[in-house]
Structure 1
Amino acid sequence: MTLFKSLKEKFEKKDFTTDVILSDALNVDKRTIFRNRVNYGVNLGSLFVLESWIYDDLFNEVGGGNTEFDAVSKCATKFGTNGAADRLRQHYQSYLQKIDWNFLRNNANITSMRVPIGYWHVNNGSFLNGLPFQPVAGVYANAKPWDYLKQLISTASKYNISILIDVHGLPGGANSEAHSGIIQNPAVFFKTSKYVSKMCDEILPFIARDICVPYENIAGLQIVNETYFDNSANDIKSYYSRAVSSISKIDNNLPVIISDGWWPQQWSDWVSANNLVNNVVIDSHVYRCFSNEDKSKDAGTIINQLPQTVSLDKGKADFVVGEFSCVLDEETWKRTNGNRSVFISNFGTMQTNIFPKMASFGWYFWTLQFKWGDGGEWGFIPQVSKKNLQLRSKTVKSIDQNTVSRIIAEHIQYWNGKGDKFEHWRFEDAIRQAVNDIQGFNGLDNSRIGRWKSWTARRRREYVAAKGDSSFMWEWDQGYQRGLDEFNK
């Protein structure tokens, strides 16, 4: 019997005007929590998608190179396919062995890891025919990055840490940066039909079936990292639509993460207009060290403006801050008077205080670890250790049922005499349902309900299916939202 069939039967046996939702009816399983909670997470930059400024070992072996394709190609030429594969395997093993899981769980209190991969890593390079990484397919077949990814997912599961699979590199590039695996300028992925078809018809469905369905601790599947800014974005919208459709046929509850292309409102409008709230989360990267506008400001100004500049329309769509750091440009520091360490602490604290209020899927710091040193203001471990990030609490707070009853009584009293008929029982059902949901999430390491747009819409649909629609569903809406506002903290 499914969870909500059980719930429906409980409703059918009761008088609607007196029914309250029982706690045993709304327990949520771990997979549901992993996919729907607010995340406090970190990126695993340069585990799979190699970036020389983070891990330079393979690049140094061959005397440089700007991208993973450069480094691996040169390595294969110099050491042969097996020799290049050996070096990749050594890198994967070294990176994974260096992860301090106890620190992440007990000190950083993370819930999730965002793991950038390239299309060339999927199933150990088995989809590379006709794609730019085809010349080095044999290296990945021998290095077996897909096996190491599964090992990572399994280990994370033991710590109740979820994995966000981030397809960071697309064939032809979603942008012209080195983190696409090959620098393609201009980037051509979205305008190349064979690349789009390969992703939507083969690669993304394989990831969904091979990783996202079998492993319960997958938070979602990100189908692109950063897209370039595009005023109309018709090609990007076409890819997103095809990809979401393809993935949802395999698992309609799997969150699909898209990029905001540096214009969040464009994509919250699109998600809302196309009724994709239940499937899509929008990734917005927040950096204050790259634009000329930010470089022209002092640190205090950037920090003080964060509440205005982190502008995400949470009323229309669910967001995640997939990347951010504590880095400010040296031009900013030249304009800043005062203690740099204090500014960095204020910057990190302000960001991580704002993000969970705006981005219902949470945040992921860039990045976890480096070959040399700790990464400084790019490094998650030093920023946590210096208490520069507002971390989540793992202390579970009980919900006072007297407070719940008081809120219900206040709602009824407020509307008393303001109309001839109401369905206040819907308000009561909703707030008690919200409380049960919150307690269910809290049961897994004090998780909080996230994806507020999607989650509330889901609960609303289930409630209407069980108790019928009504012109008084606004009371349910108010009750559920009040429950989240009061207790989902």
Structure 2
Amino acid sequence: MFDKIKQKIEKAKGALEHSDERVLASIPETSGLSKKDIYRNRYNHGVNLGGCFILEKWIYESVFDKGGDNEFDAVSSQVNHSSVDEAASKLTKHYNDYISKIDWNWLKNEAGITSFRIPIGYWHVGNGQLLDELPFEPLREVYSRAKPWDILKNLINKAAEYDIGVLIDVHGLPGGANTDMHSGCKNSSPSFFNKSKHIDKMVNVVLPFICRDACVNCENVIGLQVVNEAVFDNSAHGQKSYYSRAVAALNRIDPGLPVVISDGWWPDQWADWLGQTNLAAKVVVDSHVYRCFSAEDKGKDANQIINHLSESISWPRDRIDFVVGEFSCVLDEETWRKTAGNRDEWVRKFGKVQTSNFANVASWGWFFWTLQFQYGDGGEWGLVPMVKKGAIPRRPQGSPTVDENRVKEIINEHIAYWKDKGGDAMEHWRFEDGLRGAIADINAFAQFDNSRIGRWKALAMQRRAQYISRKGDSKYMWEWDQGFQRAIDEFGRY
């Protein structure tokens, strides 16, 4: 596939060798793309595999039948009731049962899913071999025998057969990034960021192991999320220390791997920090969008919530890359009691408006919560019913259309806008270069499973640097910036 792309590019270069040098500027920028590059940089229509590895009672309750509200307590209860072997067998059966229910053809061909976000706990990594001095250490032997890590790697390979990428999400950290049960243990406070020994273990041992064993050699692993839902922290000193160290450790092993962090419920805080630390090209910020938990949302009807989405989902997309790691079509029953009309119609509108807004501000796309449940289809929490009811759009299959007449119109509009604003002194050819360079990338991405460009900020920074190395820097590079993003906005969306 990618050899063919390169052949097309070389053919185009030959045909244009006597034309304007500026037209050629964009062509070498695309020639280096690999399948792994596109996996890691495309826009995601994704889904979470919630409840597959990290156990959550409300999703899959089979392992909780002997007691416990979190994974540590539930598995400990299994061991106490029977044995290590039987507890491990029960876990293995759960993993395999979950995976065996995945309808791969439907996900790829009907829903158009590009990727999975797979929540795991630090205790799953390496089948529990890295648990020294960590809270799950007493259950080391259970996970050694249950082999979740081996099953995860097999799942990654299976996903690759369907061109589905995998975001490995370290959902559970020792001590917890929050106090929720999905941290694996009951935590009275989110202590992870305050415990240097836990941070050291993650940065020096666990994350590097994941990267070497499951990221470097798996072309469809699209990124590594190093935290899930960090609590709000005004200064966030502990979070910033962990993130900077994690990025540095992973960059030494796999420099192109996207590292995903939490927005801590304050997106602008992380846009500022990534700009200050020059890490915007390596990091994606995960924001979760739920409109069913806060008292403010419960006090609104469905129409008010939907109308407020564009205002509440307005992240600084020009500064950093965002992804919506979790969202659903769920509204609280208090909201429904205030809402007149057909519930299914409101749900369809809610889902469509959410994903439409994500397309404008979340450059790395979205991951619906969640894929499946032990009993039933999950309703407004479930991907399958929401796709079938039209609330979550099926990813279109047609290739992007780039009309050369429209390209010329955009260029002329740019020139006309600046004509009486000092445009004669500007370098409008840089705008055209940026526009056409992005179009070349758009066409290249489309060659792989009709993908679209994601991580707009990171890709633009990379292309910008390549461009300056050939054409030189200028105070008018902002024109190139505008051209590059304009092409994505105009031609690079589904």
TM-score surpassing 0.5?
yes
Q: How many angstroms does 1:329 deviate by?
A: 1.1
Q: 2:60 aligns with which of 55, 59, 72?
A: 55
Q: CA offsets, 1:61-105, max 9 Å, x none?
A: x1x210111111111222211111111111111111100001101
Q: CA offsets, 1:104-152, max 9 Å, x none?
A: 0111111111000000000111110100000000011111101111111
The CA distance in 2 between the partners of 1:439 and 1:143, in whole Å, is 44
| Identity level (%) | 54
For these two proteins, the number of residue pairs brought into alignment is 482
The CA distance in 1 between the partners of 2:308 and 2:362, in whole Å, is 17
TM-score of the two chains, using structure 1 as the length reference? 0.93
Give the corresponding residue for 2:446: 442
Partner SS for 1:92: helix
Q: How many angstroms does 1:402 deviate by?
A: 3.7
Partner SS for 1:198: helix
Residues 197, 308 of structure 1: alpha-carbon distance in 2 compared, 3 angstrom cutoff: same
Q: How many angstroms does 1:231 deviate by?
A: 1.3
- Whether the 8 Å CA contact 2:401–2:491 is kept in 1: the answer is no
Write the letter of the residue equivalent to 1:475: E
Q: 1:488 aligns with which of 486, 489, 492?
A: 492
Partner SS for 1:397: coil
Q: How many angstroms does 1:411 deviate by?
A: 4.4
Q: How many angstroms does 1:391 deviate by?
A: 3.1
4+ aligned runs moved over 6 Å, structure 1: 13-16
- Whether the 8 Å CA contact 2:29–2:437 is kept in 1: the answer is no
The CA distance in 2 between the partners of 1:16 and 1:421, in whole Å, is 20
334-343 or 251-260: bigger deviation: 334-343
The CA distance in 1 between the partners of 2:482 and 2:234, in whole Å, is 36
The CA distance in 2 between the partners of 1:265 and 1:123, in whole Å, is 35
- Does the alignment pair 1:198 with 2:194? no
Give the corresponding residue for 1:108: 111
The CA distance in 2 between the partners of 1:476 and 1:215, in whole Å, is 34
Write the letter of the residue equivalent to 1:295: K
- Whether the 8 Å CA contact 1:118–1:180 is kept in 2: the answer is yes
- Whether the 8 Å CA contact 1:20–1:428 is kept in 2: the answer is no
Q: 2:24 aligns with which of 4, 20, 26?
A: 20
- Whether the 8 Å CA contact 2:263–2:287 is kept in 1: the answer is yes
Partner SS for 1:129: coil
Residues 308, 409 of structure 1: alpha-carbon distance in 2 compared, 3 angstrom cutoff: closer
Q: 1:476 aligns with which of 472, 477, 480?
A: 480
Give the corresponding residue for 2:221: 218
Q: CA offsets, 1:186-225, max 9 Å, x none?
A: 1211000100000011111111111111101111100001
The CA distance in 1 between the partners of 2:18 and 2:397, in whole Å, is 37
The CA distance in 1 between the partners of 2:314 and 2:417, in whole Å, is 33
- Does the alignment pair 1:341 with 2:344? yes
- Whether the 8 Å CA contact 2:29–2:463 is kept in 1: the answer is no
- Whether the 8 Å CA contact 2:386–2:392 is kept in 1: the answer is yes
Partner SS for 1:194: helix
The CA distance in 2 between the partners of 1:25 and 1:170, in whole Å, is 39
Q: How many angstroms does 1:25 deviate by?
A: 5.8
Q: How many angstroms does 1:466 deviate by?
A: 2.3
Give the corresponding residue for 2:360: 357
Residues 437, 188 of structure 1: alpha-carbon distance in 2 compared, 3 angstrom cutoff: same
- Whether the 8 Å CA contact 1:353–1:390 is kept in 2: the answer is no
TM-score of the two chains, using structure 2 as the length reference? 0.93
- Whether the 8 Å CA contact 1:16–1:425 is kept in 2: the answer is no
Unaligned runs of 5+ in 1: none
Give the corresponding residue for 2:38: 33
Q: How many angstroms does 1:400 deviate by?
A: 2.4
Residues 74, 454 of structure 1: alpha-carbon distance in 2 compared, 3 angstrom cutoff: same
- Whether the 8 Å CA contact 1:441–1:447 is kept in 2: the answer is yes
Unaligned runs of 5+ in 2: none
Give the corresponding residue for 2:332: 329
The CA distance in 1 between the partners of 2:382 and 2:212, in whole Å, is 33
Alignment of 1:232-247 (within 5 A): 232-247=235-250
Residues 300, 217 of structure 1: alpha-carbon distance in 2 compared, 3 angstrom cutoff: same
**What is the CA RMSD across the aligned residues, in angstroms?**
2.3
Residues 240, 71 of structure 1: alpha-carbon distance in 2 compared, 3 angstrom cutoff: same
- Does the alignment pair 1:185 with 2:188? yes
